[in-house]
Copies of this chain bind each other. A is one copy, B any other.
Amino acid sequence: MQIVKDEGPITGEQIAEKLNLTRATLRPDLAILTMAGFLDARPRVGYFYVGKTANQLFVEHVRKLKVKDYKSRPVVVTEELSVYDAICTMFLEDVGTLFVVKDGGRLAGVVSRKDLLKIALGKQDLQAIPVSVVMTRMPNIITCSQEDTLYEAASKLMRNQVDALPVVRPMEDGEGLEVVGRITKTTITKAFVELGQESVL
């Protein structure tokens, strides 16, 4: 492995020469190292060091998870909905974040439990205030796309201190974003639990 690490790509014959062994003696060892994922071999090129430690394989495994496989259904409302009805919608749909859309699906805002709690503190008539007053608006909305990794989405949740991201794609007319899913801290917690139970028989 050290030889391949230092001098790869290198052929089996060259390695055998360096070790004063025959190619035939070496073959099974190289086969095992390749099977185990430490080395890789390419025809007419030779062996090269892949260098995947268990830890690197692990990181790759985490980063392989995709938003599109974990996203849940988005709950959308329109801008005119009252704060009161928005809170009711959250309870009925059992979500902590609503996505506000206009023009038949274009993302306009995001409203969280935190936004609604803040306005509820104000002793105003919650039925008279539209969610558009309290929502976070484009272009300040942190989004992700279906092809993103779950790792990228989780990093965004942490970095931007939000509880949920809308999963979006460009609208068909090219203007703005369509909401096609949601990724929340609950999604990530669920994925974490799956990682911890994956091969349990």
What 0/1 readout, one digit per residue, does chain A (144-159) give for beta carbons within 8 Å of chain B? 0000011100110110
Is the CB–CB distance between B185 and A189 below 8 Å? Answer: yes
Is the CB–CB distance between A117 and B118 below 8 Å? Answer: no
- Give the bracket for the number of chain A residues in contact with chain B: 35 or more
Task: Give Cα A37 to B54, complex, Å.
Answer: 10
Residues of B with C-beta under 8 A to A33: 32
Is the CB–CB distance between B196 and A63 below 8 Å? Answer: yes
- CB within 8 Å for A59 and B197 given contacts A189-B157, A192-B154: yes
Residues of B with C-beta under 8 A to A58: 54, 57-58, 61, 195, 198-199
Task: Give Cα A158 to B196, complex, Å.
Answer: 13
* A residues adjacent to B (C-beta < 8 A): 28-29, 32-33, 36-38, 53-59, 61-63, 84, 87-88, 90-91, 96, 113-114, 116-118, 120-121, 126, 149-151, 154-155, 157-158, 163, 184-186, 188-193, 195-200
Report 30 cross-chain contacts, Cβ distance below 8 Å, ordered by A residue. Answer: A29-B29, A32-B32, A37-B54, A53-B199, A54-B54, A54-B58, A54-B61, A55-B198, A58-B61, A58-B199, A59-B195, A59-B200, A62-B195, A87-B121, A91-B117, A113-B117, A116-B117, A120-B121, A121-B126, A151-B196, A154-B189, A154-B192, A154-B196, A158-B189, A158-B190, A184-B185, A185-B188, A189-B189, A192-B192, A195-B195
